[in-house]
Structure formats: structure tokens, C-alpha cells
Amino acid sequence: MFAFASLYTQGPGLYGPEGILPARRTLRPQGKGRWQQLWETPTLLWEAPRLGLDTAQGLELLSLLGTLLALGALLLRPLRHLLVYLLLWVAYLSACQANTHPCSLTALSLQVGQVFLYFQWDSLLLETGFLAVLVAPLRQPPHLKQTPEGRLAGAAPHEGLPFWLVRWLLFRLMFASGVVKLTSRCPAWWGLTALTYHYETQCLPTPAAWFAHHLPVWLHKLSVVATFFIEIAVPPLFFAPIRRLRLAAFYSQVLLQALIITTGNYNFFNLLTLVLTTALLDDQHLAAEPGHGHSKKVPTSWPRVLLATLSLLLELTIYGLLAYGTVHCFGLEVDWQQLTVHSRTAFTFHQFSQWLKMVTLPTMWLGAASLTWELLTALWRWTQVRGWLPKLGAAVQLTVLGTATVTLFIISLVPYSYVEPGTHGHLWTGAHRLFGAVEHLQLANSYGLFRRMTGLGGRPEVVLEGSYDGHHWTEIEFMYKPGNVSRPPPVVVPHQPRLDWQMWFAALGPHTHSPWFTSLVHRLLQGKKPVIHLIQSHSARYPFWEQPPAYIRAQRYKYWFSQPGEQGQWWRRQWAEEFFPPVSLGDPKLEMLLRQFGLQDHSPARTRSSSTLAQALRWTRTQLSAVEAPTLLWGLFVAVGTIRVVQALLAYWSCWSSLAIRKKHRPALKDTGAAGAQGTPIPASRSGSSGPPRRRK
């Protein structure tokens, strides 16, 4: 819901006819058959003209429908159906429409979403969305009762298979994100000083990042050690047979994601990761009925006592090995006088490379062994199904889900093996062929976040400036990215301002590495309102709202967080160099850059569509244009929360009312005999006593 709603608010400025990268240039028929074209470029936007819409309007319709469909699934139980999640996955794939050559600028421009929709969390959402299709049931099961062992009695035998795939995805995400920090040879990660730069150099910090930045250096270094521990050492515990180990892994991941959410605006990424971590929990831990989540059966027979003792010893041994390995690898020493913890990297890059080469293939075998156990467990559960017809239906479902699970596991081994090139080269060729056949569907992806730490000499930031005469320049301030040194960092999660994010990437190199920046300058010189709305939503904050500037240029600055003693300032900055030369409309330099990057749109201007659907889309846009994107997203969240609370209160009131009715009629039932059982009370005289009737056995 957050991903679709955030994209909807930015559609016209990014992909509209007057946007930075118009989407209509990306979908051009190649003379192929309809189904071949749809398979090679899997997007529903091919069908937009049949609805009387252009590509940008089709993307807007997909975003709006995706938001409403996801909202409905949050609120209505019948909509939590595999067809609904399949539609959501297809809709987001249609917007991203991945290509097979992400390093090529030409290939990247063939995406509908283009560079603004090419982030790892977009790929993660697509992969998770496809797994949601497998997790969601074909039909809504009845309310199931929990067994003393912690499972839901009567659940389908195959229910654990798709959740295992979610665990495997979480493992690949976290393990690869930890490993790439060291394989990149980044001196900040190897020196454990990355977090002394991270909080002020990340794309969109929060106000809490300012306070975190000023924590002691020894605590920053210890936090880096904890990051390596949580991302590299803990993920294998996702497949541990001991329940408490999986719960410990769950809470460590939750802690890491909560700290990232507090100090950085990473849109829906950390929320999505938290969703993935729930696959580490079980029915007993999530029990809603009192007593089920905490009651534990004490073993009495000696085999059970022996098994419980061995399990506890194994658990304590694993904790001890993890603690010893962390202390040994990072040389942890406690300074009791200063009350600090000293840490350093106690291994070399060669040693780490040898270790990675040694463990990458075993982790694949660990996944295969865990999957095999899950398949055998599902098969055993199938044998417990009673009745030939339910058994046949369960067999069909188990066969389909089992085949899909094994296939997706094999496909995922290829992008996972990217963490170690030697293992990638020795992988089974059939896995490579299978992955290549479906790569464009993004069913499995490679991950590796925060590979290198940037801005070690100061945070680079591009500042746009406009002028009417070419001599007096006025800064153009963005809503979210750093600009004004006196403005505090905003909190925009779960919204992702995609232009602000790309401005952060653009500042890391020359403007020629970011071709879209030339189009941004061109649109601002033209005074295109959809693009201006991406920068500032209020006319009072944009200095050239009434009349576009005659000249635009861009400067590169170095930014640092202010010191605690500096009142009224959140940032310090220093001019570094010119980023983009002063240009105006018709300037030969600007025209040359537009031609060089293929940004000139020579297609004839299209008349405004007058179809009913297009008019409805324009009306909806007009109604929502006055609401800022973070406000809209949080409004949706509050609405969902409010409705869910009302639903819970109504359910509670219904249960309380039925219980009160039962209590009201219970005394009358106690004073009835054999005749009273039919509804007629027995007179006291017939019972042989003038007192109350005798109690009957």
C-alpha cells in the first residue's frame, strides 16, 4: 500500500508527458506478437491504449488500483486471497518492468520506471510479493484451534513450505548485506568507523540521526561489530531446529531494523524486512488465546528429559561459540576505568575471502537440508489427513507447492552465489538456465545494502540555483533532502521521494553519470508544474512559481552535521565546485546534452484524452494534489488502524453480549428437572418438600 501510494503521488512529475523521464518513450511496439511482447516486456501498460490512456496515465491507474487493492486486503479478510496478491505483484512488476542488463544506461532506460524505480527494495517487494501469492490460501480457512505442541490443528500440510521460502529470502537479504560490506574493501567498514560517517551521509537522515552522530566513537565501532554479528553470524540460526534460537534471531533482526527506522528515512524497506522476520515465529509464539503462548508442557519420560537437556546444551554451546567468535574476530576488550569497549578487526581480507569461499556452498547445503526437512514434515502431515477426498486435495496442493518451492529455491541460488564469485562459477548449469529464463520477472534477486560508505570527507550535496538575469542567483530548496542549514532533517517514512534519492546519487559523481539531471534542469527552465511539485508542494516555498527562471545552474557543496554548541543550525556546509554550468532554454550546451542522452522528445504532441476513465483519473488527482505525500500515506495508515480497532471492539462487544445472554438464562436452567429440560419448571410440591428442589445426579 505504501509503495503504490508513494509512487502515485510522484507519477506526473517523474513519468508524465511533462515529467523528467516521460514513460511514453519506454513502450514502443517492436512488431512482435502480443504474447511474445508481453513475455519479453512484462507490463500491463501495453494495454493502456485500449482503455483510452497513455503510458503515464496507465501507470497512474495501476498505482491507484494497487493502493486500493492493498488497502482492501488490510481491512477485509476475504481479499487476503492469492489472486489479490497476484494482481498486486503483476501491477508492481508492470511499473518496475526489470531488464536483464542493469549496468547499461540504454537498457535501464527501457524500464517503465527507469532509474527512479531501480532500487533494491523495489526488487525485494517484487520477490516478497510473489511469495505472498504462495503464502495466501486459495480459500479462507476456518478459525483453527491450537494444539499443545503449538501448531494449528487442521491446517494444510503444505502450509510451512512458502513460509520457509520467506525465511530463505530473509537469510539471503541479511547475509549478503553483511558480507558485501567486507568484500567491498571499504576502509570505513574494515576500520569499524562506518557509523561515524553513516548518520550524516545517508540519503535522508532523521532528526535522531543528528543525536546518534554525536555518540562516542567507541560506541559507533561497537555498533558496527553488532551489525556484522546480526547480519553475518545470526542468519544461519533462521534454520535452527531449536525454537529459542530462532526467536533470538528474530528479536536481533527486529532491533536492527528498529534502529535503522529511527535514524533514517528508508521508505517501506525496513517495514518490509520486519514483515519477513515474522516467518521466524511460530503459532505458539503468536497465540492470541490466553495461556497458549506461555504454557509449556514439562517432559516426564526419560527420553523427553534427555532430549530437552541435549537441546539446552546445544543452545548454550551455540551462544558460547557466537560470543567467543565475536570477541576473537573483533578483539573486544573492556576498559573498566573508562567504562568503554575497545574493538578492532582482527582478521585480514584474505582470511575473510577464504572463510567466505569455505562457507558459501555449505550455506546452500544448509538451505537444501532445511528445505528437505520441511518437505518431509509436510509429507508426514499429509499422511495424517483423514478421508480419501481431503487426502487427494491435500496431495495436489502439496505437489504444486512443493514443486514451486524447490524451483524457486534453485532459481535463488544463482543471485545468492554472487557474494562469492568462485561458488557462482561452480554452480549447477541447470540453475543458471532456469534463472536466465525467468530473470526478467524478478522472482529472485541479489542483495547487498550499504556496500561502501560514501562522503568520508563530507557529505556531497547538489544545490540548484535559478536566476532571471544570470547574475543574481537564488537557491531552489527541496522538501526533503538537505539544503537550508537551519532546517531540521524531516521524517518522511514510509514515503520515498524518488527525485531526492536520485539527487543523492547524482552528487557522488559528475552530472554526466546522471543523464536525467539534464532533463530536470530543462523542465525547470520550462516551468513545468508536475516537476516543480516534486521539489516543493507549496508555491510560497518555490521562488520561481509565477515565472520560471531564465537561467539555472547547480553547485556541489560538502555538508556536515553541526556541533552540539551551534544553536539554530543542523548542518554546516562548504562550497566544493560547480556541478552543472549555467544554461538557459535554447542554450547549445543544454541542447547538446539532451541529444547526447536521448532526452529530446520528437514525438508529436498528443491531444488530451477525453475518455471517462481519463477524466476520472484527472479528477482524483485534483482532489489529492493538495495533500503532501507523507501526510497521505500516514492518513491511510491511521485510517487502517482506526477501522481495525473499531472491528476489534465490535467483535469484543458481540462476544460480551452473547456471554451476558448465556449468564442471564443459566439460573433458570439450574432449577429445572426432567420436565424443566423441556422448558417447564417443576413445582416445589411435587418434589416431596416445601423447600427447594433436591439436586439430581
Q: What is the DSSP string of 68-134?
A: HHHHHHHH-GGG-SHHHHHHHHHHHHHHH---S-TT-HHHHTTSSSGGGG--HHHHHHHHHHHHHHH
Cell of 560: 556536515
List, run by run, the mean pLDDT of 10-residue segments along the chain (697 residues). 95 92 78 79 87 90 96 92 95 74 39 82 95 84 53 72 96 96 95 95 95 96 96 96 94 96 95 95 72 54 85 93 95 91 95 95 95 95 89 92 96 94 88 92 90 91 95 94 94 94 95 94 94 87 92 96 89 95 94 89 66 90 89 93 91 84 64 44 41 45
The residues near 373 (Cβ < 8 Å, ≥ 6 apart) are none
Distance CA 130, CA 307 (A): 38
Question: Does residue 126 contact residue 96 with C-beta atoms inside 8 Å?
Answer: yes
HSE-CB of 410 using CA atoms within 13 angstroms: 17
Question: Does residue 123 contact residue 60 with C-beta atoms inside 8 Å?
Answer: no
Instruction: Give the model's pLDDT for residue 106.
Output: 38
Please count the residues of the chain: 697
The residues near 321 (Cβ < 8 Å, ≥ 6 apart) are none
Distance CA 358, CA 340 (A): 34
Nearest to 548 by CA among 467, 464, 474, 463: 467
Distance CA 488, CA 481 (A): 10
Nearest to 496 by CA among 120, 56, 2: 2
Q: Where are the domains of the chain?
A: 1-155, 192-287+301-344, 350-445, 459-601, 626-669
CA distances (Å), origin 92, targets 8, 128, 154, 396: 12, 12, 34, 30
Instruction: Give the model's pLDDT for residue 111.
Output: 64
Nearest to 369 by CA among 179, 241, 245: 241
Distance CA 20, CA 12 (A): 9
Instruction: Give the model's pLDDT for residue 686.
Output: 39
Instruction: Give the model's pLDDT for residue 535.
Output: 94
